[in-house]
Amino acid sequence: MHEMSLAEGIRRVIEDQARAHAFARVTCLRVEIGRFACVEKPALEFAFEVVMRGSPAENARLEMIDLPGRAICYDCTREVEIMARLDPCPLCGGGRLMPVAGEEMRIKDMEVI
């Protein structure tokens, strides 16, 4: 379950930011997750709850924001949204697509006190 290591990485970022900006507590953390990031949301929620115990983010609300998969179609030269990596272009039906977005996972922002 790599979601546990993702949550541990999030904790390190939160602790670093708490030291750098002198806040005591995170009340809400928003994380953007791309469609192809291979993150199991229920597992990340569980890992977040466990890993954040004793940290500034203990009992913080975790909001996960879905980001679409996007690709450039070499046949029609347009950037398109795709649901799966091997989908054809929804505009021209071409099969030569290069994914350009959807694998990312990043902290968008956090509410702190």
pLDDT in tens, 55-96: 999 999 999 999 999 999 999 999 999 999 999 999 999 999
* Reported confidence tier of residue 3, pLDDT bands at 50, 70, 90: very high
pTM over 0.85, yes/no: yes
CA atoms within 13 A of residue 62's CA, in its CB half-sphere: 26
Q: With beta carbons less than 8 A apart as the criterion, state whether 68 and 84 touch.
A: no
Contacts of 61 (CB under 8 A, 6+ apart): 27, 28, 29
Q: With beta carbons less than 8 A apart as the criterion, state whether 24 and 56 touch.
A: yes
Cα–Cα distance list, 10 to 15, 16, 102 (Å): 9, 10, 19
Q: How far apart are CA 57 and CA 51, in angstroms?
A: 9
Contacts of 78 (CB under 8 A, 6+ apart): 72, 89, 91, 92
- CATH fold of 3-68+102-112 reads hypothetical protein PF0899 fold (3.30.2320)
Residue 86 DSSP one-character state:
T
* Reported confidence tier of residue 1, pLDDT bands at 50, 70, 90: low
**Range 42-56 average pLDDT:** 98
